[in-house]
Each structure stands twice: as C-alpha cells, then as structure tokens.
Structure 1
Amino acid sequence: MSRQSSSHQRSETDKGTTEQAPTEGPTPESPPEVQAEPEATPDLPARRQDDTGEPDAVPDQEVSSDHGAAAAPKGWRVTYPAVARAVAWTATGLSLALVFIALLLPTQLSLVEPRAFMRIPVEGVFGATLLLMLPSMARRVVAVLAGVVLGALTILNLLDIGFNEFLGRGFNVVLDWILLDDAQSYLKDALGGTAATAAVIGVVVLAVAVLVLMGLAVLRISNVMARNSAVATRTTLVLGTVWVMCAALGVQVAGAPFASRSTTALVQDRAERVRKTLKDEREFAKVAAVDTYGDTPGDQLLTGLRGKDMMFTFIESYGRSAIEDPAIAPGVDKTLKNATKRLNKAGFASKSGWLTSATYGGSSWLGHSTFLTGLWIDNQNRYRTVTAGDHMSITRAFQRTGAWRTVGIMPGVQKAWPEGKFYGLDHVYDSRDLGYRGPKFSWSTMPDQYALKAFERLEHGKKRDKPLMSEIILTSSHQPWAPIPKTIPWSQVGDGSVYKAIQKAGKNPADVFTDSDKVKAEYGKSIQYSVNSLIDYVLKYGNKNTVLVFLGDHQPLSRVSGNNASRDVPVAIVAHDKAVLDRISHWGWEDGLMPGAKAPVWKMSSFRDRFLDAYGPNPGGGTAPSSPSASPKASAKASAKR
C-alpha cells in the first residue's frame, strides 16, 4: 500500500514537471526575457533600477520562482518599458523643478524672470543632507511635512506678489487676511458674481494643489535619493561646497547672490514682521491716546472758518502719477488747468501741494483716517485702534464747535458703518440712503455726479440754521476704471436711471484691466471725470461761503503708477473768500489746482495739526503736533530736501 502511494506521488511529480516544460520559452503570458528555469535567473536581477530610482519595467514578482505558480498579468510598465522610464524621469524632473522654483520664487512680479532661478538655494542643500541621514520611515514623514511647509511658504510668496502689485507692500500674515474678503467683493463687482465665484474656487483649488503637489514632490525626490544614495550624497556634497565658496566670495548673478538663502531670509522677515505688528498694536494705542487738540474747547477751534460751508472730498486713487506720468498726465493736466481757469473766472481761488499717503493702491480708509486724525495709520490694527477711541479728527473738531452740521456722503459704504460716530458726523448717507436707481459702474456704486447731486438734494440745498461741514467720498475713479460714467446735465441726473444706457455702452472691465496701455488711459479718464464733476458742482451750487478741500486718498496700483512710484497724492484748497487762503500763505503751496514738481511734500498725517493751527484763533502759533505727525517746521525741512 505504501509503495503504491509512493509510486503515485512520483508519478504526479513527474507529470507536474512535464507540464512546466513549455514555460522555458517566451509566451504571451510572460515577458520574453523572463525564464522559468532556475539556472536562467542569475542573468536577470531580482529588482533592477534605472537612473531615476524607479524599479525596472519587470517587477520581481513576475518572475516565477515557485513551481506551478501562474504568470502575473502584465502592467503598462512591462508592456511599454521605454514609456515607463520616460514618465519616471519626467516626474522626477518636475518634482525637482517645483521645489527649485518654490525655494527661489521672488515676492515681486517684476523680479520673476529666468535669472532669478539661476542660483543654488542653501535650503535645498540642507534639506537633501537631512533626508539622506534619516531612516526610511522618518525620511518619508519629514519629506511630506517639509513639502507641505514649502507649499505654505509658496502660497505666502504668491500673496506677496499680489499685494506688492496692488498695494505696494508685502502680505502681513497677522493683519491682511480680512482684505481677502474685500478682494472677493471687488472681483464680484468688477467681473460679476459667477466669474468671482469661479475665481475663488480656482484659488482654493490652486492652494490645495500647491500643498499636495509640493508634499508629493519632496517625497519623490527623497525616494530617488534613497535608492541612489551614493550619487545623491556626492551631488549634495558638491552643491554644498559650491554654495559655501560662492557665499564666501560674494559671487553674484544678475545682481543677486548665486549662493541663495532667500527662503530663510523670507521666513525671518515674516517672523520679524509678526513681532513688530504685535508690538506696534500695543505702542500705537499709547500714541493715539495723546492728542494735542483733544481737550481744546470748541470755541477755540476753527475760528477762521466760521460761517463757511466746508467740503472735504476724497477722490479715489487720485495720485501723483495722474499729474506726472507721460501716458496719463496730458488729459488730467488739461482738466486741472481748465478747472483752475473756470474757478478763477467765477471768483474762486485755489492753492495746492502734495501729501504722502499712508497707503498705496487700495485700503482707502487708511488714507482717509490718516488725513483726518493726524496719526500715521498704515494698517488695519491701527485703524481699529484709533476708531475705537476718541482721538480728535478734523471732522470731529467741526462737530465740537457746535457751529456746523456735519454729514458724510459715502457711496462706497454698503453696510453699517459705525466709524461715523468716531468721525463726529451727525448723519451718514451710505449707498443705500442716496436714492440711486441706476446701475453700478464696476466697484463704484454710483457716478460721482449723482452722489454730488444727492448731496445737494439731501443736505446742501436745504434751508438750515447753521453752515454745513461735509465729508464726501467720490468713487468713480476706483479700479478697474471701466465702465466710466459720462457727465450729463445736472437737470437730467434724476434717480440715476439715466445711467443704464451709459453703463451698458461702456467698456468691459476685464478687457481694460488686463491691458497695461488701456488701463492707464481709462484711469486718466476716470480722474478727469471725477475732477470735472466736483468742480462743476462747486461752480453750479457753491457760493461765497463755500470752501473745498479735495485730495487723493492714495496712488493707483503699480500696473498704472509703476513699480517705483511715490506714495504722493495732490491736495488743494478752493475758496471764494480771499481770507481763507491768506491763512495758509506760509505753507508754500502753489496757486491753482495742479501742484508742480517743486511744491511742498508733507506727510499726510501732518495735515490735521497744520489745518487746525492755520484756522485757529492764533494761526502760526506753533502748536506742537501729536506723534507721529511731523511738526510744520520739520515737514518744511523734509519738503525742502525732497
């Protein structure tokens, strides 16, 4: 019985051996180079790698080492080995390029050019060294984390590029997140709700993609380095040596160090900005609490303007570039000169100068508050701090006297605006209160001419027992500068319905804003429209007691004003009463609405104290201004130097 069993087993074994024999040659079920015979396997490595660190096209599991095992199904790597190697090389190359770009990406759009990436980033050398030293599991974890961190830094760099392009400064990680909501609102107004929503979704997807792709890129590079550790070690050593030598010798490429440490410097700079921002918030609260005019009695304020109807008007984005840029100035300068002549003919006189704004390209409320409070308010924390207190503003000084009714015309305000109380305004008319029934002009809720006509209808044209002090914000010159309203007869303004056809016939903001030449031309036209609307109003509705102070809140964004533009804005005072301008004769301002290149340039925060001093009971008496405003003498010296 046992012999029969043994014989049967041998027979089955022989049979199995016989059935394996056909697999010695190539078959459709297995790659041609795979041989089932044990003696053939030494010629083929069990796990072979190419130079990218990728496994060879023939996985070791496809080599049958056990008798009777079925051949594994072929994958695309086996079927197309050349394609597999090309994909592996491409993926590794793209990963290296992605990390390289992230480590060397500038924070200004004008610096993003090929030579900016012709450097060795020390962070890459250090990271490669660290990954080579770590064990397998720790290496993978560190690689993914490093990639995500690098992705986050890349997102911040992209935000820096955007903020430098629009606001002339980098992104503040403490203060500026709130501005992203404003950016979304701006896109909605400029491009429409659907396009704005699509843009927001696209930005979110892009941000997530950057984080994920950067993590995968660093992980892939680390795996390639681990599989080719000898080559990776030698390469890292060579790059590190070159970096040290170039750093020691100060080697530069296109004016930038070849041995780069830009990512490290940016991280240090961000950390320092966070520290300064938090410190500034505490220190500014103390500065804002000190006010030279805080305790001045009302009967000692603005005695030189009693009985005058005062208009403080801000023209959106009205900057120095509008008057001096060769591509913009001809039309604007002609408008200002003609307006000066028209005013003179009607018995008005004017003087003008320059103010250096606390903001650039946007955040108009920072310019408004700096001008009115005499404090340098260049960020949102400072704005919140000052508006939460009781620091004296120019408009509040008028209210304190009890001699004026104070109102605000705010077409750009589209929701509750509690700051009106801080500014001492008896009544604020926002976009919902002005009775407008026409279309929006991109961001601007209504044309300037309509806002001024509404002011006349609601306040200035009514009988009252005291003069009027008004703060008026004109918004038609707000980016994207398309479509632009047209001046129409005042009698046709009505409820604004007449502007529907004008808005429809206007230019597409997307077409204008993306073209550098067009955007400059349309910006200039918008400034001309705003200035003409304001001067037309004064000539039609003003009288011998009208005093107008108008200025720009900030320069337009760099696409219009240029990458190295100043932060200066024009300011002018218009009055029918000669005595009003006589009070500021010592300021050195030039005659007319258009300040020249040699006109004084003051820090915007210095205006409040100069103004309250000039029109107080003792003009030129030398009241010490509040810090950080410059004193009149110091500002005059600074202006002379400039």
Structure 2
Amino acid sequence: MPVFTRSRPSPDLKEPEDAAAGVREAEEGAEPGAAPRTLRARVAHWRAWRSRYPRAARGLWWTATVLSAVLVLGALLLPNRLDALQFNRFTRLPGEAILGAAVLPALPRRPRMAVAALAGASLGALTVLNVLDMGFVEYLGRDFNLVLDWILLDDAQSYVADSMGGTTAFAATVGVFLLVALLVTVTALATVRLAGLLARDTRRATRATLISGTAWITCSIVGLQNAGVPVASYRVADTVVNEARQVRTTLKDEAAFAKEARTDTFGATPPAQLVPDLRGKDVIFTFIESYGRSAIEDPVMAPGVGETLETGTRALAQAGFQARSGWLTSATFGGSSWLGHSTAMSGLWVDTQQRYRTVMASDHLSLTKAFRKTGAWDTVGIMPGVQKRWPEAEYYGLDNVYDAFEMGYRGPKFSWSTMPDQYALEAFQRLEHGRERDRPLMAEIILTSSHQPWAPIPTMVGWDELGDGSVFEGIEKAGKDASAVIDDSAASREEYGRSIQYSVTALTQWLERYGTDDTVLVFLGDHQPIARVSGNDASRDVPVSVVAKDPKVLDKIAGWKWTEGLKPAHDAPVWKMSSFRDRFLLAYGSTPHPSEG
C-alpha cells in the first residue's frame, strides 16, 4: 500500500493497532510510542481512546457535561449570605444563563470560545466575591468592599498566624490562592464546554432557549415564588449593579469625608479651654476588646457577665468609687477594632479603612490629643496588641507607647492576645501610673484578652505573683484549644462570655487596688463580637462607663441620664460613638472654637 512505502512503522511498535497513531505522531515530530506532544496529537490520541472504549468515553462525556452545568448554574444562583444557602435558592431560573444561551451559539467559533471563557472566568470571580461577602457579613456585619477591603485580607492572614501559628496561616494562604485560581479556571472551561454544546445543535438550543425565556418572563411577571424566593432570578446582574453602585459611592465618600475631617468643633480651641474641669486628674481611657451589648443581654452570656459587673460595682463602691454607664453605637461590628477606637476618639464616623487613613493623616483633634495639647498631662498608650511600628501614636497624641514587646512580658500568648489583661494593667502601674511625676497622667489602654477566638482564656492570679508573666504558663496549657472553639457557636458564646468576665474583673480589680482620689476611668467596648456569637440581627451597641471617686466628676455628666453602676440598663441612652468626643469635652468645660480646613 502506498502509505507503507512512504512511511513504514517503527519496529518498536509491537501492536498493529498502534501503527496509525505512530504514523501521526511521527508526522508531528514526536518519538514513536511517546506521549502526544502537540494539540493535534493529543486530539488524535483522545479519539483513538474514545473509539476503543466508547462506553467509558460516553460516561466521561456526560459526567463532564453535567458537572459543567451544575457548576455554572450554581455560580449563577449562589447567594452571598450563609443563612441563604438553602435548596430553594438553587431551583430558580437564572436570566443570565438564558441570555448567554441566546447569544453564544450565534457567534463564530473563536469569538464564542473567547466570550465564553471570559464570562466563565468572571463568574468564577463573582463566586469568590460572594464567598467574601459571606465571610465579611459573618465576621464584620457588612459586605466586602471592592475598593477598600483588600488590605483586610492581609490582616486576616496575620490573625490566623497569631491565633493558630505561622505554618497554619501559610498553608491556608497558599490553599486559598490555589482554590481561587482553580475555581476561576474550571468555571471558564465549564462555560466554554456548554457554549460548544449549544453551538453543536443550534435548532434544539434555540428551541430550549425560547421555552426557558418565555418561562422566565412569565414567572417574573406573575411573581411566582418557591418558598418565598422568586423563581425568575437575575442574581448576577443585580450583584454587578450593586457592586458598581458601591464603588461609585465609596469614591464619592472619600472626597466628602476628607472635607468633613477638615472641619472640627474644637479644632481652634486654646489649650487653656480644653477639659479644664479635669485638671489634676489621672484620666484613663480603656477599650475592652469585643465588649458589646450581647455580653450583657444575651441569655447565655448575660448571667455571668452581669454578676461580674454587679460584683465589680459593689467592690468599687467599698473602695470609694462610683460609676455611670450607657450605650454607644459602634462604627464597626465583629472586628476592625481600630475603626471603633478612632471613631470614639476623633468624633468622626470611621466605618471604613479609607476613612481611617484619612483621619490618621488629618489634624482633626482626637480626644486623647486634647489632653496633650493642654500641656497639663503626660500622655501614654498601653498597646499589647501592637507588634509592629505604630505611626498612629502621633494622631492620638501619645508621648510614649508601650507595645507588646516593651512591657517585660515573658509568659505565653493566649491565642491572638500577646499577654493577659491583668499583666498589661500591672505593667501600666509599674511603668507609668505608679511613678512619681510632676504632672497627672492621661492614658489610652487597649485590653485584648477578650479577642476572638476566646481560647485559651487566662484566669486571675494574685497581683503580687505576676512577675514577668511566667506564672501563666500552666494556665495557658490547661486552657481550651482555639480549634475546639472557633467553629462551635455554642462554645464560642460561652467562652466569649468568660473572656469578658475576665477582662472586666482585671480592670475593676486594678482600679480597686491602685486607683486614687484623682483617678478617672472611662472604659468601653470597641464593637460587638462576630455574628456567630452575638447573632445575625444584633445591634452595634457597646457599653461605656465613667468611674471616679470625686463626686464632682460624675456630677458633670448627670445630664446624660446614664445608669448608676457598671451595668447600663436596657433603656439607658444610646448615642452614636462618634458623638462621644464632643459630649465628653463639653461636659468637662471645653469651649468650642471651630476650625475649617
């Protein structure tokens, strides 16, 4: 035969049925019998395999087709809320799929593949965005912001490293990147496959598209629902519109907020007219991590936390202290504590990372900086959660900041928290509050033992036994492991309540032990705990208390109508956290002198 006279098979090919494949591979420049190296050779190899194993090939074809359809339809219908992951969400008619089925078969082959691949990759990216929304709603009570929130992913990685170790964080980061790349790629391939199937039989595809389109329009007009969910879906289109609106709103907000930050009610107030009614007092502002309304009112947590607050109120009263308490509505939820801190101290509503950067770069007077501006106070910060350079100290007006490495702690970490609150407070007493000084002290203290995942939790030890913190070694080892709590809602609620009890006890015992006639303590929560603990419909309220021995200090805020003691009543006044700075400055004699940028 002519074919054999032109190109004889290699003697290495021992099976006759491999001869044709060997000829094709040789013509493509491949070694006889080696794996196919070119696309044409691979296609020929696949066709040869399919002809030898038709049943297996058909099963594989159907499996790939069904999985492609499930993946694409699932991505089109996927909600962006964990509590919405229900079966009825995936039994809807996606209008975007019908539109794609109408457009793609009409395109030439190469443009069709390109458009399908781009649409599939975009759908994969949208799926990632939906998952991010789920996580952000669960942990921060809001959707992921495409413009501002990418930096928070780095913070999430740092949180995992601090809580569960660097190796776990690295493995999780690599795994997430690979999973995202795989999802985008597979979704693109699945869309290309479905587009090819539609183009293979345009008559059937057109008929099915017309039927589906008619059904979608009918369901949309009559408002047909399945278990309360509309059958006609335009989930992807709606998401794209909402994201575009959010991006536009974010960009406009950036310029508007920058202008707002340049205007300050007390920006031009002379130093002598700032907080004159607190002169001579040691004023201490303390934030308790995740100390929210849920800790006081949730049925699981409230009994223990309530008893701790009542015990603390009685003990402080015996030491001569009185307290008044109310509620503030935080600008953040579940995390991003720095947004709560900056909102309370700046008097501005700081609910995004961009707003935070704007405030930190501004001259807007912080509540703590007002004390330094007077020249009548030494100002310090106790920041056990800070483990790297912290330029924000300048905005807050802190002359000296003690971070996680500057308080002499040699004991174990408690998950994310670098040291127990009791030790941080004792270090503050040793390093600053207990020292002889020419001027009173203004301090900002951030307590971190109630930071999630709330395991292990430290316990109180004798104040004289604290030393360098080594006493906590056995306590940390005997505590619960974070992995046993972090995914268990019931356990998280219980441990969260215990952590708040610990933090409040450490703070009130410190005040009882070291407070003086001139000590004024203001303590508050920065935000509510995550939704898994506080609930999906929880408010953003946090408790705030003012404690002092001098009755004149509390008389100044009598008009606030706050509750007596450390536990605010359910119906105690609720203010936006951003209003606290101005109310505090006015209550203690500050005179407004607005500045306009």
CA contact (8 A) 1:99 1:218 kept: yes
* Structure 2 equivalent of residue 455 of structure 1: 428
The correspondence for 1:322, drawn from 283, 292, 295, is 295
Instruction: Please give the secondary structure, in 1, of the residue aligned with 2:470.
Output: coil
**Which amino acid in structure 2 is aligned with residue 407 of structure 1?**
V
The amino acid of 1:140's aligned partner reads M
Q: What SS does structure 1 have at the residue aligned with 2:264?
A: coil
1:587 to 553, 557, 560: 560
Counterpart for residue 498 of structure 2: 525
Residue 281 (structure 1) aligned with residue 269 (structure 2): no
Equivalent in the alignment of 2:131: 158
Q: Note if 1:297 corresponds to 2:237.
A: no
Match of 2:484 in 1: 511
Matches of 1:559 and 1:566 in 2, distance apart?
A: 13
Q: Check the 8 A contact 2:267/2:593 in 1, yes or no.
A: no
Alignment partners' CA distance in 2, 1:252 and 1:352: 48
Question: Cα distance, 1:140 vs. partner?
Answer: 1.1
Identify the match of residue 487 of structure 1 among 456, 460, 466. Answer: 460
Q: Does 1:599 align with 2:572?
A: yes
* Amino acid across the alignment from 2:275: L
TM-score, length-normalised on structure 1? Answer: 0.85
Measure the CA separation in 2 of the matches of 1:581 and 1:232.
Answer: 77
Q: Does 1:432 align with 2:432?
A: no
Residue number among 230, 242, 245 corresponding to 1:272 in the alignment: 245
Distance in 1 separating the partners of 2:124 and 2:88: 22
1:308 aligned partner: 281
1:179 corresponding residue in structure 2: 152
Deviations 1:161-209 (A, max 9, x none): 1111110111111111111111011111121111111111110010000
Distance in structure 2 (CA, Å) of the matches to 1:238 and 1:624:
70
1:106 aligns with 2:79: yes
Consecutive unaligned residues of structure 1, counting only runs of 5 or more, are: 1-11, 17-27, 31-60, 63-71, 628-642
Residue 207 (1) aligns with residue 149 (2): no
3-state secondary structure, aligned to 1:611:
helix
Name 1:414's counterpart in structure 2.
387
User: Is residue 2:526 matched to residue 1:553?
Assistant: yes
Of residues 369, 372, 382, the one that matches 2:355 is 382
Tell which has more relative contact order, 1 or 2 (C-alpha 8 A, sep 6+). 2
Secondary structure class of the residue paired with 1:470: strand
Contact 1:374 1:626 in 2 (8 A): no
Pairwise CA distance, 1:255: 2.4
Change (3 A) 1:625 1:314: farther
| Distance verdict in 2 for CA 1:432–1:522, change over 3 Å | same
In structure 2, the residue matched to 1:466 is: 439
Q: In the alignment, which residue of structure 1 is the partner of 2:28?
A: none
Q: Residue 569 of structure 1: SS of its match in structure 2?
A: strand
Residue of structure 2 in register with 1:218 after alignment: 191
Q: CA RMSD in A?
A: 2.0
1:75 is displaced (CA, Å) by: 4.4
- Tell whether the 8 Å contact from 1:609 to 1:625 is kept in structure 2 after alignment: no
Give 3-state SS (helix, strand or coil) of 1:347's partner.
Answer: coil
Residue identity opposite 1:478 in structure 2: H
Q: Which residue of 2 aligns with 1:192?
A: 165
Q: Which amino acid aligns with 2:83?
A: S
The 8 Å contact of residues 163 and 169 in structure 1, kept in 2 or not, is answered as yes
- Cα distance change, pair 625–270 in 1 and its aligned pair in 2 (3 A): farther
Percent sequence identity is: 59
Q: Rate the CA distance shift 1:617–1:475 in 2: closer, same or farther, 3 A.
A: closer
1:142 counterpart = 2:112: no
Report the more deviating stretch, 227-236 or 523-532: 227-236
Counterpart check, 1:78 vs 2:38: no
Matches of 2:406 and 2:287, distance apart in 1 = 19
Question: What's the CA shift for 1:253?
Answer: 2.2
Larger CA deviation: 603-612 vs 427-436: 427-436
Q: Which amino acid aligns with 1:566?
A: S
Matched residue SS, 1:513: coil
Aligned equivalents of 1:220 and 1:74: distance in 2?
17
- Note the alpha carbon deviations across 1:41-75, whole angstroms, 9 max, x for none: xxxxxxxxxxxxxxxxxxxx99xxxxxxxxx9994
Contact kept, 8 Å, 1:29 with 1:73, in 2: the verdict is: no
Residues 314, 551 of structure 1: 8 Å contact kept: yes
Q: 1:626 to 1:206 in 2, by over 3 A?
A: farther
Distance 1:418 1:503 in 2: 32
Question: Shift in Å at residue 83 of structure 1?
Answer: 2.5
After TM superposition, the structure 1 stretch with the greater mean CA deviation from structure 2, 247-256 or 408-417, is 247-256
Is the contact made by 1:555 and 1:567 (CA closer than 8 Å) also made in structure 2?
yes
From the superposition, tell whether residues 624 and 258 of structure 1 become closer, same or farther in structure 2 (CA, over 3 Å).
farther
Selected match of 1:117 from 81, 90, 100: 90
- 1:80 shift after superposition: 3.3
2:99 corresponds to which residue? 126
> Quick one: distance in 1 between partners of 2:112 and 2:595?
57
CA–CA distance in structure 2, aligned partners of residues 138 and 584 of structure 1? 71
Q: Which amino acid aligns with 1:229?
A: T
- Listed as ranges, the matches of 1:10-89 within 5 Å are 75-89=48-62
Please give the secondary structure, in 1, of the residue aligned with 2:543. strand
Q: Report the CA distance shift for 1:261/1:617 in structure 2 as closer, same or farther (over 3 A).
A: closer
> For 2:301 and 2:594, how far apart are their aligned partners in 1?
36
Aligned twin of 1:235: 208
Work out the CA distance in 1 between the residues paired with 2:460 and 2:328: 28
Q: 2:133 and 2:593 mapped to 1: Cα distance?
A: 38
Mapped contact 2:267–2:595 kept (Cα < 8 A): no
The code of the aligned residue for 1:481 comes to W
For the 8 Å contact 1:352–1:590, the answer to whether it is kept is yes
- What CA distance in whole angstroms lies between the structure 2 residues aligned with 1:142 and 1:175? 29
Q: Which amino acid aligns with 1:468?
A: L
CA distance change for structure 1 residues 625 and 242 in 2, over 3 Å: closer, same or farther?
A: farther
Amino acid at match of 1:282: A
- Distance in 2, matches of 1:394 and 1:74, equals 75
| Cα separation, 2, equivalents of 1:463 and 1:368 | 29
Question: For the residues of structure 2 that align with 1:283 and 1:427, how far apart are their CA atoms?
Answer: 33
Q: Quote the Cα distance in structure 1 between the aligned partners of 2:194 and 2:594.
A: 60
In structure 2, the partner of 1:616 is 589
* Cα distance in 2, alignment partners of residues 555 and 128 from structure 1: 46
1:434 Cα deviation from its structure 2 partner: 1.1
Using the alignment, how far apart are the partners of 2:593 and 2:233 within structure 1? 48
CA distance in 2, matches of 1:78, 1:505: 65
User: Given residue 513 of structure 1, which amino acid in structure 2 is its aligned partner?
Assistant: I
Q: What is the Cα deviation at residue 369 of structure 1? A: 0.5
Distance 1:188 1:626 in 2: 43
Unaligned segments of structure 2, at least 5 residues: 6-14, 18-42
The Cα of 1:624 is off from its aligned counterpart by 9.8
Assess if the C-alpha contact under 8 Å between 2:455 and 2:485 holds in 1: yes
Q: Distance in 1 between matches of 2:428 and 2:594?
A: 33
Tell me how far 1:302 sits from its aligned partner: 0.7
Q: Distance in 1 between matches of 2:373 and 2:169?
A: 44
Pairwise CA distance, 1:82: 2.3
Displacement of 1:278 in angstroms is 1.1
1-structure distance, mates of 2:49, 2:311: 76
Hey, what's the Cα distance between the residues in 1 that align with 2:399 and 2:46? 83
